[in-house]
Amino acid sequence: MLRDLCLTRYAGSFPNTITIHSSRYGDPMISEGDYVLVMLDARRTWLTKVERGKTLHTHKGVLKIDDLIGRPYGCKIKSSTGHTFFALKPIIKDFVMKSKRITQIIYPKDLGLIVLLSGVGPGSVVVEAGTGSGALTTVLAYYVRPNGHVYSYDIREDVQRIARENLERAGLLEYVTLKIKDITKGIDEKNVDAVILDMPSPWEVVPHAYESLKPSGTFISYSPTIEQVKRTVLAMKRHKFVEISTMEVLLRDIIVEEGRTRPETRMIGHTGYITFARKYVED
């Protein structure tokens, strides 16, 4: 049902192609200075930079990382103990999940829906608040390339330093401006495509978001508690927002094996509520 809702609501809102700007995401061969995702299995992976003389120590032996230079992504590499690993090209999910963090991050199950609902794509201008460790910032920067931009607000310099490191590693810092400012006091940017919030009091930003957004621009708030949702929705109803809705994503993995295919016993349940709306204007 969610899939049909999203396809119906947002059909035609995304371009048919995305221009790949950074060589980090386009070159099929491994070069010195690139990042690789070294994988033993689905649960044991390492994101590492390829440098001459570099080794990676694991519980299954030592890997000579510089042996990967000049080889294609997706190749196999043997450890000193003879175990087989795979050298994969990191995708945006890998940079997010392997990011350095001192705050909780938004996980892929929610990031995907946030990006879809926001309508952002190449060329979009986005205001984000609650930079944190930069997981959402990284994903937004990836999708607004090559000529869009993300303005990310936070009141903590320490977390933005971590976010800067994560953005640099992902090759996406040039698409982001990090701002130390309390967004509840106002938004500097005008005529933006989307305002996306991950912060304790999003309702305080609603009037500023309305003034900042272009007509039909999108507003998204990510909140862990239902009380935050209620206050934010009530604030939006006092301003000119339509299509107001709140949803939650629950994720359950499936074990697929001959004779015992079934859902995993444990699942990722509640992480946060996603509240969405669009700005309207009077003729």
pLDDT in tens, 173-192: 999 999 999 999 999 999 99
pLDDT for the residue 27: 72
Provide the strand spans (E) within the chain.
35-41, 44-49, 55-58, 61-64, 75-78, 84-88, 125-129, 149-154, 176-180, 192-197, 213-223, 241-247, 254-255, 262-263, 273-279
pLDDT tens for residues 192-202? 999 999 999 99
Segment 34-86, tens digit of pLDDT: 999 999 998 999 999 999 999 999 999 999 999 999 999 999 999 999 999 99
pLDDT at position 269 is: 86
* 23-90: CATH class: alpha beta
CATH pick for 94-279 out of 3.40.35.10, 3.40.50.150, 3.30.70.330, 3.40.50.880: 3.40.50.150
Per-residue confidence at 151, pLDDT binned at 50, 70, 90? Answer: very high
pLDDT for position 24: 59
What pLDDT was estimated at residue 112? 96
Domain ranges of the chain: 23-90, 94-279
Question: Does 22 score more than 60 pLDDT?
Answer: no
Tell me the pLDDT band of 14, cut-offs 50, 70 and 90: very low
Residue 160 confidence (pLDDT) above 60: yes
What per-residue confidence (pLDDT) applies to 18? 38
Strand pairing class (192-197; 125-129): parallel
pLDDT at 26: 65
**pLDDT score for 6:** 42
pLDDT band (50, 70, 90) for residue 7: very low
Q: Output the pTM of the full model.
A: 0.86
**What is residue 103's predicted lDDT score, i.e. its pLDDT?**
85
132 or 25: whose pLDDT is higher? 132
